[in-house]
Each structure stands twice: as C-alpha cells, then as structure tokens.
Chain A
Amino acid sequence: MITPTKGIAPQRALLTVGAQVLLATEGRPVTVSQAWRRFQEWRAEHKHNAPIPFWWFVLGLDVLYALGVVELRNEILVFRERSDAS
C-alpha cells in the first residue's frame, strides 16, 4: 500500500501518491479540493492513467501528514519542510 506491491502499481502506491500531491501543488498552501484537482491534472499530464479514487488520495495525504509533511490549517493544506524535531 505504502510502497508498490504485487497488487499495487508503483503509480498508485500511497508514497507515490503523496509525492505526486507535493509535485502537483508545488508545496503551496491549497484547499483540499484544489489539491485533489491539481493532483488529478498532474497524473493526466504524466500519463498515469490508473484511476485513483478520492479516498485513496486522502490516504496519500494521511501518509504525508503522518510523515509531518502537511497539516490542515483553517481548512487549508499547508506543506512544510520536515523538521527533525519530534
């Protein structure tokens, strides 16, 4: 799930999805809907044709959150540099 497996194509692995969200939004603060839209556009541009449902995308965000890369402030997704301070 996090990494590609036999059942999960590399482009659908949650780490990949998270990375793609980061690339699609260019790390700027955006709304969830914007993040979702840009992520889809990015995938279409890069010929990642495997369909990704919204909830899988949210899991990708969850991974990023768990890793401390994004948080939700006032309904806005804010990406940040990872601080090694735990």
Chain B
Amino acid sequence: MLRELGAGDERFRTVRFTEGLNLLIADRTAASTEQESRNAVGKTSAAELLQFLLGADQTKLTRNSSIKSMGFHLDLDWPGIGDTLRVRRSGAKPGYVFLTPDITGTSAVDPTLFRVDRAGTTVPISDWRSELERSLFGIRAEDSGLSGRTLISFYIRRAEAGGFSDALRPNTKVSRHVATANLCYLLGMDWALAKRYNDVSEKDQTRKKLAGAAKDNPTLGKIVGSSAKLRGRIQAVDERISGLERQIEGFQVVPEYEEIRREADQVDARIRELRSSEVVDRRNLEDMERAVTEATEPDDAYLEGAYSELGVVLGREVRARFDQVKEFHQAVVRNRRHYLDEEIDRLRRQLQESERERGRLGDRQAELLRILHDGGALDTLTMMQRVLAKEVAEREALQHRAEAAEALEQSRREITQEKLQLEGDMAADIAERRKLVQQASSLFTRFARRLYGNDRNPYLNFEAKRSSLDIVLQLDSDSSSGISNMKTFCFDLTWAVVAHRAGRGPDFLVHDSKIYDGVDERQVKEALSLAAEVMAEEGMQYIVTINSDDLDKAVRLGFDPAPYEIAPRLNDRPEGGLFGFRF
C-alpha cells in the first residue's frame, strides 16, 4: 500500500492514501477556461512524483527550477519491517534516495557503503531500484529480462509517456517484446520464454541492419558481400596463387644473373661487331682478289710500247735500260702480288678467325640465354614471393569476409529456425498453462462484462506467433479511445490481481485521470464501482486521479464517491493545486 505523498515544502498539499479505492479529485472552477483545464492542478504530477520516488528517471517536472530543490517523500508499506518505509528524493540530487528506516541492513547491500545517520540511510538510486525489484516483485538478481522499472511503469502508467496508448505497453520506449515478457511475469506465464522473442528479434534486427547496410553502403558492402561472389573471387585468387607457387617451385636462382645478363649483352655486341667487321673484310678481300687479277692484266707489250715512247719523248733523260725497267716492273708487280696475297691470306685467316669466334660466341650466347630463360635473378624470386604473400593475404581477407557473409546468411536460417522453435515451445507452454490463462481470462471477462454487459464475449488469450508472443485482449467493440482505455483498465486490473494473488506484485495500482477520458458515463460508474469491489475483495489499493466532471458522470448514475475521496481535493486556483503554488 502507498500511504503518503509529501514534500519538504509546506505549500505542498500532502496526499494521504487509504486502502481500496482512492479518488484524488480535481475540480474545475467556473473561472478557469478550457485552456487552463487543470493543467497546473497536479493530477499528472502526482503520478509523476510517485514514479520519481519509485526510482524513475528525472522528468521535466523534477528538473523544474521552482521545485528542483524540493525534497519529496513517499511512505509505503514495506515487507519485513512491520512499518512503513519513507523514501525521500529530490530533483537536485536525483542519484540518491534517503530511506527511513534503514532497510538495507536486512538486504544484500553492504551497509558500510552508505552514510548512515540516525534517521536512515542514503542509497544510490540503482540500489533502490534493486530493492524495489526484490521487495515489490520478488525478482531475483539472475532474472535478467525482468525490469522493476518496466513493471512499475505498468502499475503507474504515465499519460505523457504514452502509457495509455497501448494496453500492452507501459510506455512507447519499452519494446513490445520486453513489455510482453514482463506482463508474462505478472500473469504467471513463462516470461523467460517470452523474453526469447526479444533476443531473437534483436538478433534479427542486427542481422537485417547489417545486411541492409551491406546492401546500401558500398564501404560496408565491401566488408561483407554476398558469399557466392566472394567464393568466386577466392577461386580466382586461388588460381593465381597456385600458378605463382608452381613458378616459384620451378624457379632456379642464378646467383650472378645480372653478370650473366651483362655478359650476354657483351657477347651480343661482340657478335654484331664481328659481323660488321667481317662485312668490311669480305669487301676488302674481294677488292684484293680483283687487284691480283688486275695487276697481271697488261702484258709486256704495253711496257715495251711505253719504254720506246719514253725513248722518243725523253730519250736523253732515260737512265735505265729496257731490261732493267722490265725487271723493275716485274718486281713491283710481284711485290704487289706478294703483298696482296699476304693481305688476302691475312683477311681470309681473319675472317675464319672471326667466324670461329662468332660460332663460339653464338654457343655461349645460346647458353647464357638458356640460363637466363630457365632461371632468374634472386630479385625476381623475391618479387614473386612478395606477390605470392600479397595474394595469400588477399585470400585470407576474402575468406574472412566470405565467412562473415556466410554467417550472415547462416544466421538468417538460424534465426528462422530459432523462431520456429520458439513458436513451438511457446505454444506448448501456453497449452500447458491453460489453467492460468483461463483464470486470467475469466477475470478479464468478468471485468469487461461488468463494463459492457453480458451480451459480449470478451476474453484474454496468449497467441504464440513466429516473431512475437501476442497477448490478445478481445472486447469486440469499436476502437474509440474510451473503449481502448477501458480495455486497458480491465487488463490492468486483471494482471494486478493475478500478480498480487501470486505474490509477484505489489498491492497498489495507480491510474491517471487520462484513463477516463472520453469514456461513457455508464462505464465510468461501473469501472469505479468495480475497482472499489475488487480492491475490497483482494485487499488492494486502487488510486485514481479524476476530474470532477468525469466523476459527476458516475455520480449521476448513482455512484457514491464519498467513502473513496482522499485529501486534498485539487482545483485550478493558484494555491489549489498539488504544489500549492503556480510555477
């Protein structure tokens, strides 16, 4: 039970709760316009402060400069201390709560961690949350997936967080799967199984994001491609690698490769040189051979003719006799022959020598070229090995990517498999818990029929689907906001009762006035009567903030709010709100 909501500011109008139905009523004075419509009255703030004191994150309200330094407190029944526990928290130091008495001594929390004073103990907010989980819901530390905060958000739905837009979610931030798992806990279903939907969904999301990113983003697409394409590329690299390996294996390193190449070049140059000098020599040889024949061409008739003519022309000048001249002539010719023959011999020898050398050089050249062709320089080998290493690294990278891509494709199959498995498990589990489902459903049916009459056939059911566990709330009506709010009302009442009976949830439930927005008067009246009834039966507490005009709908149909109204009665005058002043 919640007992008191107060603040360390005397203007604040302390709210005192009782057992059963609690009506925190907000009046609209004639002076206020529709616009002002109880904005600052504090109905919503009441729920917000309760949440804040029960470990919620800061909100705009608690950050507001006018009330930031205000310390708020909540008194609530606490198991095991036979008294109420007072929790204090302020917007100025939201990281801690102050607990009176010190309940942490009985908890697993090490008391030496906290600054203990005579009145209580300061506890970090995270420890307070754990305490709430343990004491209000019986959640153990190892129950990962259950969240006290999520559960409290069901117990105290907040309109501004979207708490009334969906009966199955406490606010828009909590994922469907997580909300369902926590509801399953309250309703006594296998919440761990339900939570697996969340795990699978997250896996699937991650996979989809990755796959989508790989498709859209070229960079990511480079990191992960399709496994088939990558396999193709790996094959190509493999072929290059084996080719290189073969080459390297058959590679003979010629240590003096460079010298050999130089020598081959020199040999080649020498051969050319020899060839061109042979050409010259051959031409010379031909000239000489021609000259030999030329020299013998004229006969002595010429000589004789010349000599006699010489005698005629220069008779007195002639010093030599004809036979001397003839001898000289022959000597010259002979000499010339001799010289030419020698020259011819020399040239022939030279040509032969040159040809021989060319032959030798040709052989050498062939040998060198063979060496160069078959083998290679060490440089070439190292270069080949470098290329090989690069290709091998490339293959490795591709291999990794192919594995990643395959994992991606694989995980799609796996996730599908897992979903099927989960669907089967969940369906089987629901079937086995038929009794529990029936109990919850009959409560829901009872509540809904109370509101809408017996001609309807409302029910609550669990449906295991492939991607989600659906909690079905059947009210077969149109989906006006009034109807959906009443559906939420019936459902909240259902799980609150089920959880409380099983000791899995606290004995209070808080509804913001928002839940009665747009609800027909008959349903308002029936809902309030039903709440009062059920709370009395179950020994629970239902706190609802309600506008006086909504309440009047019920009153007109014979509902008496007097036993349920709690102080203060709020209104829209400056001092009439929860805080007692405007800010």
Closest to B326 in A: A62
**Is the C-beta of B317 less than 8 angstroms from some C-beta in chain A?**
yes
Taking a contact as CB atoms under 8 Å apart, the answer to whether B295 and A58 are in contact is yes
**Given known A-B contacts A55-B295, A59-B298, A72-B331, A66 and B309 have beta carbons under 8 A apart:** no
Q: How far is the CB of A58 from chain B (nearest CB, A)?
A: 5
User: A56 is contacted by which of B298, B313, B336 (Cβ under 8 Å)?
Assistant: B298
**Is the C-beta of B114 less than 8 angstroms from some C-beta in chain A?**
no
Closest to A83 in B: B319
List, in ascending order, chain A residues with CB within 8 A of B302's CB: 1, 55, 59
Cα–Cα distance between A32 and B333 once the two chains are bound (Å): 9
Within 32-59 of A, Cβ neighbours of B (below 8 Å) are at 32-33, 36, 53-56, 58-59
Taking a contact as CB atoms under 8 Å apart, the answer to whether B294 and A53 are in contact is yes
**Is the C-beta of A81 less than 8 angstroms from some C-beta in chain B?**
no
**Is the C-beta of B307 less than 8 angstroms from some C-beta in chain A?**
yes
Taking a contact as CB atoms under 8 Å apart, the answer to whether B303 and A54 are in contact is no
Within 303-329 of B, Cβ neighbours of A (below 8 Å) are at 303, 305-307, 309-310, 313-314, 317-320, 324-325, 328-329
Taking a contact as CB atoms under 8 Å apart, the answer to whether B306 and A71 are in contact is no
User: B294 is contacted by which of A14, A55, A71, A82 (Cβ under 8 Å)?
Assistant: A55
Q: How far is the CB of A34 from chain B (nearest CB, A)?
A: 10
Taking a contact as CB atoms under 8 Å apart, the answer to whether A67 and B303 are in contact is no
**Is the C-beta of B457 less than 8 angstroms from some C-beta in chain A?**
no
List, in ascending order, chain B residues with CB within 8 A of A66's CB: 307, 310, 318-320, 325
Closest to B322 in A: A66
Closest to A65 in B: B328
**Is the C-beta of B228 less than 8 angstroms from some C-beta in chain A?**
no
**Given known A-B contacts A66-B320, A67-B318, A58 and B333 have beta carbons under 8 A apart:** yes
User: A63 is contacted by which of B297, B310, B324, B338 (Cβ under 8 Å)?
Assistant: B310
Q: How far is the CB of A71 from chain B (nearest CB, A)?
A: 7
Q: How many A-B residue pairs have CB under 8 A?
A: 91
Cα–Cα distance between A58 and B291 once the two chains are bound (Å): 12
**Chain A interface, number of residues (Cβ within 8 angstroms):** 28
Cα–Cα distance between A32 and B342 once the two chains are bound (Å): 14
Taking a contact as CB atoms under 8 Å apart, the answer to whether B320 and A65 are in contact is yes
Taking a contact as CB atoms under 8 Å apart, the answer to whether A59 and B306 are in contact is yes
List, in ascending order, chain A residues with CB within 8 A of B331's CB: 72
Taking a contact as CB atoms under 8 Å apart, the answer to whether A68 and B320 are in contact is yes
Closest to B291 in A: A54
Taking a contact as CB atoms under 8 Å apart, the answer to whether A65 and B325 are in contact is yes
List, in ascending order, chain A residues with CB within 8 A of B336's CB: 32-33, 36, 54, 58
Closest to A86 in B: B319
Cα–Cα distance between A67 and B318 once the two chains are bound (Å): 5
List, in ascending order, chain B residues with CB within 8 A of A56's CB: 298
Taking a contact as CB atoms under 8 Å apart, the answer to whether B306 and A33 are in contact is no
**Is the C-beta of A11 less than 8 angstroms from some C-beta in chain B?**
no
Mark contacts of A6-21 with chain B using CB atoms, 8 A cut-off: 1 yes-contact digit, 0 otherwise: 0000000011000000
Mark contacts of B167-209 with chain A using CB atoms, 8 A cut-off: 1 yes-contact digit, 0 otherwise: 0000000000000000000000000000000000000000000
List, in ascending order, chain A residues with CB within 8 A of B306's CB: 1-2, 14, 59, 62-63
User: A72 is contacted by which of B317, B319, B328 (Cβ under 8 Å)?
Assistant: B328
What is the interface of chain B, defined by CB distance below 8 A to chain A? 291, 294-298, 302-303, 305-307, 309-310, 313-314, 317-320, 324-325, 328-329, 331-333, 335-336, 338-340, 343
Question: With A31-B335, A55-B297 given, can you name 12 additional A-B contacts, CB distance below 8 Å?
Answer: A1-B302, A1-B309, A2-B309, A15-B313, A33-B340, A53-B297, A59-B306, A61-B329, A62-B325, A66-B320, A68-B319, A75-B335
Q: List 27 A-B contacts (CB under 8 A).
A: A1-B302, A1-B306, A2-B309, A2-B314, A3-B313, A14-B306, A14-B310, A32-B335, A54-B291, A54-B294, A55-B294, A55-B296, A55-B298, A58-B332, A58-B336, A61-B329, A62-B306, A62-B328, A63-B310, A65-B328, A66-B307, A66-B325, A67-B319, A68-B319, A72-B331, A75-B335, A82-B319
Closest 3 CB pairs of A and B: A68-B319, A55-B298, A65-B328
What is the interface of chain A, defined by CB distance below 8 A to chain B? 1-3, 14-15, 31-33, 36, 53-56, 58-59, 61-63, 65-68, 71-72, 75, 77, 82, 86
